Chain A
Amino acid sequence: QAVVTQEPSVSVSPGGTVTLTCGLSSGSVSTTNYPSWCQQTPGQAPRTLIYNTNTRSSGVPDRFSGSILGNTAALTITGALEDDDSYYYCVLYMGSGISVFGGGTRLTVL
């Protein structure tokens, strides 16, 4: 089964810009993987921020954006807030109904 890779931890200063990436252990991520990004704070259920590579879910601030960068999917936060201190998971669609989560990135805003 495909392994989806993410940075284990990343930090950003308040007001700064940060990019989290999502790759495949073998191969490149493309739009046909329909990358999505979920945010999860400890003790809470995740919520989907971005889907279809770059579509924001309803109510998600426009400081969150998604893209394909080279051979990875990317989540960029522009003007990070302390509230963005959280875990972020990417999800890739591998075909045949199968979704695979990445291992998650712990984003620290400080």
Chain B
Amino acid sequence: QVKLQESGPGLVKASETLSLTCVVSGYSISRGYHWGWVRQPPGKGLEWIVSFYHSGGTYYNPSLKSRVTVSEDTSKNHFSLNLTSVTAADTAVYFCVRQRVGSGNRFDSWGQGALVSVSS
């Protein structure tokens, strides 16, 4: 059974870069599926951020595209999110996800989430 676990600093200063890593166990990220990130500001709804396929394309939420980069390390079976120039509006719980994109589109596995707060 696949498991995802987020890790990273819980506090980031405004204007700096938010960095999170998702460690995947039980499934190789190079084997298939898309992988990505979803976030949820405190008391608010879910927002899809980005999805990528190993050695394939990356898809971005248009509203965040200019500030988002993702990377993967298949040797460690993990992937990472960088979000630049953060503001208080980026304070959220960040979930890493395994996703089917397109036909059968769905988020079929979720990490437990990591709260990242942006301080001024």
Interface, chain A (partner B; CB < 8 A): 1, 34, 36, 38, 40, 45-48, 51-52, 55, 57, 89, 91, 93, 96-104
Contact = CB atoms under 8 A, between A and B. Distances in A.
A67 B113 CA distance: 30
Interface residues of B, number: 26
Contacts of B106: 34, 36, 48, 51-52, 57, 91
Contact of B45 (A36, A97, A98, A103): A103
Nearest to B111: A45
Interface of B: 38, 45-48, 51, 57, 59, 61-63, 95, 99-108, 110-113
Contacts of B100: 51
The 10 closest A-B pairs by CB, nearest first: A97-B59, A51-B106, A93-B105, A34-B105, A45-B110, A101-B46, A104-B45, A36-B106, A99-B48, A103-B45
Given A34-B103, A45-B95, A101 B48 contact: yes
15 contacts: A1-B63, A34-B106, A48-B106, A51-B105, A51-B106, A52-B105, A55-B104, A57-B108, A96-B59, A97-B102, A98-B48, A98-B59, A99-B48, A101-B46, A104-B46
B111 A97 contact: no
Interface centre among B57, B63, B107, B108, by most chain A C-beta atoms within 10 angstroms, is B107
A21 to B, nearest CB: 16
Contacts of A40: 46
B22 to A, nearest CB: 12
A52 B112 CA distance: 24
Given A48-B108, A93-B105, A97-B101, A38 B46 contact: yes
B102 A93 contact: yes
A46 B102 contact: no
A103 B102 CA distance: 21
